[in-house]
């Protein structure tokens, strides 16, 4: 066991969301598979169908009359309604064959309108097709962007601590497991286990709001002190973990000392006024301990942290090499 002295600054520093619910409206939806080529296709004057392909999220959508009048081309969704434009926004974005079918459907729809209602029918159907096409495109893009944003937010909440913004315990442990899985002899993995000194006294003296501000500021100073490839997480309470790739005990100790200096270098501004804060850090690396499970590496760092606190706090100590 050895104490690492202070050094300079020479070293480099949530269920998968589903598509949003479609707007409600009058009418009936049912999944219907079209007939084989040559078979008759039964439609009503109010029956419309969307042609869609789930493999392409960016393609536009269109009302597919042609697919309903022709042979079996794909599975479609039948919409029976007196308000086809409103129901149009229920569908998702298609592509490929769907685009061709949608275009054919538009042409066929215009032809049906012209045949049934004359020139005025042609204009009405053409306008309806154009509005549905443009509206479906805008809606599908907006809906997909909203789904992506919701997915990212859920993933962030599932892996990050709400107070500090650091990785939560589960996420930082997975980071350590991944780092150790890719561990090579020439690329050691290290962990730093830090504990804010006398944190209970800070809470008791200045209040829990000030204590929360201290934890947030400690987290920020830690993140600014490590390298881009390192991962910082909240292990629990006032304990923080840093997972270091390609870090020997000496290098990890250097980074630990940088964190210690950043924390104690200036008082923390809080609602209760400036508060001086220090941190004790334990270091453990596979260059001394060999290839060990994540729990054993953390136990070694925890033992070094305990000795740092017993030795007076506000210091960085490294775990001793494992006996061979």
Catalytic residue among 78, 129, 213, 238: 238
Active site residue 146: no
The angle, 0 to 180 degrees and rounded to 10, between the axes of the packed helices 208-225 and 249-264 is: 140
Which residues touch 71 (CB under 8 Å, ≥6 apart)? 34, 35, 36, 37, 38, 39
Which residues touch 21 (CB under 8 Å, ≥6 apart)? none
| Site of tokens 């590496």 | 297
Q: How far is CA 147 from CA 71, 110, 241, 268, in A?
A: 34, 34, 32, 39
How many angstroms separate the CA atoms of 37 and 225, rounded? 68
Helix H or strand E encompassing 165: none
Tokens for 89, please give them: 């926004």
What residues are paired with 192 via a beta bridge?
A: 242, 283
Which residues touch 88 (CB under 8 Å, ≥6 apart)? 48, 50, 61, 63, 132, 135, 136
Q: What are phi and psi of 73, to 5 degrees?
A: -115, -35
Is there a contact between 207 and 179 (Cβ–Cβ < 8 Å)?
no
Residues that are catalytic: 238
């Amino acid at each position: 066991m050895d104490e690492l002295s202070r050094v300079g600054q020479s070293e480099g520093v949530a269920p998968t969301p589903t598509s949003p619910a479609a707007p409600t409206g009058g009418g009936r939806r049912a999944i219907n598979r079209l007939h084989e080529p040559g078979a008759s296709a039964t439609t009503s004057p109010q029956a419309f169908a969307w042609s869609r392909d789930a493999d392409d999220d960016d393609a536009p959508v269109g009302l597919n009359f042609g697919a309903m009048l022709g042979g079996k081309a794909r599975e479609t969704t039948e919409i029976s309604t007196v308000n086809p434009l409103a129901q149009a926004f229920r569908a998702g974005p298609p592509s490929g064959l769907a685009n061709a079918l949608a275009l054919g459907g538009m042409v066929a729809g215009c032809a049906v309108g012209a045949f049934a209602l004359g020139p005025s029918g042609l204009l009405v159907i053409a306008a309806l097709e154009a509005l549905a096409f443009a509206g479906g495109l805008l809606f599908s893009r907006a809906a997909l962007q909203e789904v992506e944003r919701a997915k990212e937010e859920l993933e962030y909440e599932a892996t990050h601590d709400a107070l500090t913004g650091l990785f939560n315990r589960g996420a930082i442990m997975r980071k350590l497991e991944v780092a150790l899985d890719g561990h090579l002899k020439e690329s050691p993995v290290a962990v730093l286990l830090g504990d804010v000194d006398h944190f209970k006294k800070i809470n008791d003296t200045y209040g829990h709001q000030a204590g929360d501000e201290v934890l947030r500021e400690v987290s920020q100073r830690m993140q600014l002190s490590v390298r881009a490839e390192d991962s910082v997480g909240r292990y629990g309470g006032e304990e923080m973990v840093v997972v270091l790739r390609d870090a020997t005990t000496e290098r990890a100790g250097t980074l630990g000392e940088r964190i210690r200096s950043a924390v104690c270098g200036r008082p923390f501004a809080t609602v209760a006024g400036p508060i001086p804060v220090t941190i004790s850090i334990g270091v453990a690396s596979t260059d001394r301990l060999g290839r060990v499970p994540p729990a054993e590496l953390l136990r070694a760092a925890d033992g070094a942290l305990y000795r740092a606190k017993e030795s007076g706090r506000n210091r960085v100590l490294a775990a001793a090499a494992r006996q061979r």
